[in-house]
Every structure is written in structure tokens, then in C-alpha cells.
Amino acid sequence: MTKLSFDHLESLFRETFPNTKNPTSVWAPGRVNLLGEHTDYNDGYVFPMAIDAGIAMVGALNNTSTVNLYSADYEAKTSFSLDNITATERLKWTNYLRGVCHQFLKAGFELRGMDIVLQGNVPQGAGLSSSAALEVATALLIDKLHGYNVNRVELVKIAQRAENEFVGVASGIMDQFASMMGKADRALFLDCRSLEYELIRTPFEEQGYAVVVINSGVKRGLVSSEYNTRRLQCEEAVKLLQAALPTIAALRDVTIEHLPLVNALPPVLAQRARHVVTENHRVLKAITALEQGDLKEFGLLLNASHHSLQHDFEVSCSELDLLAELAQNFPGTLGSRMTGAGFGGCTVSLVPQASLPLFKKQILEKYKRETMIEPEIYVFKASPGAHIKTRVLPQS
């Protein structure tokens, strides 16, 4: 994974935009969702962790109405006017920045032109929210440069609306929230309905365990269509359940005690609803387990989540199932599951730190032998959320 350096990026900024002075540097991390999959758009609970990989951005006002961008990753320079912000097919990564600018303007803020240099090291297409990190970094930079002092939760909402309304991805708010609000040695317990959140201590390292994320190498090609289908199925399940539970507004309001009603739904709808109901319950149990320092219970909940995503929500794939199985069968591993929207992407596992070299070797060999794909294996720590440059960047 590429190591990022503010010193390097600030030097690159001076080279790229020699006439622009006094740049500000910001950082926003990606995230891995530990538990709570496909619960966010059902008004439920999620439990993501900001990771020590993300987007670094250096920018300054340029006294024009034009935003000039340079990506160190793509070695690409481009511009757009704040007077007419439209999406582009040519450099799609710029749409996330364009979208955030568009949402600031739509909210009534006056923006001035900016020069921006950026670089990231979140694996793209792996379900680790490189897009949310980009949106959050942009929102934080705009806020700082213009001196608006917008509440951080409102910045999260601006970033999410950029993805929903401008980029056109109907994501929940979890990714942007985790990127903005993360904290070292903590994971984020978020109520997606109220946006109330709590930072929960993660005793992984002190108990000798590491959070290991494995990229299956499978592109998440079915996500868009199947994601929308799952949302519609969840909404349909709610409509049918309202006959017996008239006060419910979302699957979040359906509890474990209501599972007999859920199981009586048409088979596919029963599966979808059952996953969401049990997944919300798993998140709540996971919080209790961590507060009690019970990592064994936490690991069992990871395994149960994967089984539910595989069989009830049907968003896994053979490669993710293989990775989860290999990890679960490795001695000492407490739990493993697919993470993210599914149909490819990553798994997350809780693995003994002392066994990491052997774990990596065995997973790589066995997975490659079965799939002919070489997986990417990362060890992440719970890390600080988005911030203005006050400390060195995380070095993964």
C-alpha cells in the first residue's frame, strides 16, 4: 500500500500551483465495517471502524471561480467552473469533489475557486469507502478554506448528498460518518435513524488480535442493480409486516421477538427481512461483548453475520465464502465475514497477531490455488477520523 506524506503532497502542490499560497492540508480515512451490513438504509445499526488508509488533500483559494485539481495517483490535472458544475464521464473521480462543491452551493454557501492536490491509498473497488473518504476530505477542506465552521455532522450530510444526488449512488450515511467521526482504538456504533453515535473501545491489540482485511480481487459488478433490488425487497417486507405491526416504519423497528411474523412472509422477503432483523441484533450484542472484553463472542457474531449475508441476504459470492471459510478454519481466528455491499470486495477477520505471517501465507496460497486470484491482505488499526493537518499521516 502506498505510503502518504503531507510533506511530499505539499511540495507537489507548490510545483503544480506555484502562484497559490498558504495551502491547508486535510486527511480523511476509509473505513471497514465490522458489523451491521445492509442495515443502514433500513434505519438500523452499524459498527464501522475508520482505518489507517485514506485520502490526503492539500488546497488553497485561488481568487477565481474555478476549481483546479491534480491527482497524484492518476497524474491527471483538470478543472471545473463553480458557475456550472456538471458530472463528467472522462475523469469520474472528480465527480465526488464536484458533487461536494455542488451541495455546498445548493445549501446556500458561496464558494470561491480552489487549487487542490490529492492522493489516496485506500484500495479502490474493495468496499473500503475510498469515495466517502474523498467526499469527506473535500467537505472538510472547503469548510476550512472558507471559514464556515459547519458542524461535522452537517458536513457528513453534505458528503452523503453529493454521493446520492450528484454521483448517483444511493448509499446510506455510514461511510461518510465513519470517515468523519472515527477515533484511534475506537469503532463507531451508529444509529442510522437518529444519527446518535458512540465510540466504542476496541480491545483487539491489547488482547493480541489484529483486524485483517482481505481483498478477494473480485470486482463488485452486480452491486448497483442487486443493491437497489435488496432495498426494494426490504421496503416490501415492511409494507406486508405493517398489517400485524402497524407502527413500524422500517425493518429497524422489527425485533427478534417478531421473527415468527418475518418467517411467515413470502420466502425471499422473509430471507431479506430476517437478515436485517438478526444483523441489528448482532450489532447490539457485539457492543455488549466489546464492553465486556469478550472477543470470542464478538468473533462468533462475525461468523453468524457472514452466514446470514450468504444465505438470507444472498449478497456474497463463492470467492468471499472461500475467504471467510479459510479464515474461520485457521487456528486462533475468532471470526470472519464478508464486509461491504457484497458480490466481491473484502472480508474482515479477527486474527491472532502472533500468527499473522502464517495466516497470510496460508490464505494467499490456498485462495490462489482455488481461484487463480492473488488476494491483497491488509492489517488495519482503528484510526482517527478526518482532520486538518495536526499530526503525521497514518503509515500503513
Domains of the chain: 6-202+383-388 (3.30.230.10)
At residue 393, the pLDDT reads 55
Question: Percent of the chain beyond pLDDT 90?
Answer: 87
The larger pLDDT score, comparing residue 128 to residue 163, is at: 163
Tens-digit pLDDT profile for residues 72-99? 999 999 999 999 999 999 899 999 999 9
At residue 227, the pLDDT reads 81
Confidence of residue 4 (pLDDT cuts 50, 70, 90): confident
Q: Find out whether 168 and 37 touch, Cβ atoms under 8 Å.
A: no
At residue 205, the pLDDT reads 95
Tens-digit pLDDT profile for residues 222-271? 556 788 899 999 999 999 999 999 999 999 999 999 999 999 999 999 99
The yes-or-no verdict on residue 392 having pLDDT over 60 is no
Contacts of 345 (CB under 8 A, 6+ apart): 125, 126, 127, 215, 216, 218, 220, 320, 338, 339
Q: Which of 175, 191, 294, 321 is catalytic?
A: 175
Tens-digit pLDDT profile for residues 128-140? 888 999 999 999 9
Confidence of residue 66 (pLDDT cuts 50, 70, 90): very high
The yes-or-no verdict on residue 3 having pLDDT over 90 is no
At residue 396, the pLDDT reads 47
Give the strands of the sheet with 376-380, arranged side by side: 335-339, 346-352, 209-215, 376-380
| Tally of CB atoms within 10 A around 117 | 26
Tens-digit pLDDT profile for residues 209-236? 999 999 999 876 555 678 889 999 999 9
pTM score of the predicted model: 0.91
Tens-digit pLDDT profile for residues 169-197? 877 789 999 999 999 999 999 999 999 99
- In this prediction, residues 339-367 reach a mean pLDDT of 95
Confidence of residue 18 (pLDDT cuts 50, 70, 90): very high
The yes-or-no verdict on residue 391 having pLDDT over 60 is no
Confidence of residue 305 (pLDDT cuts 50, 70, 90): very high
- Is residue 175 part of the annotated active site? The answer reads yes
Give the Cα separation of 309 and 147 in Å (integer). 44
- In this prediction, residues 298-321 reach a mean pLDDT of 97
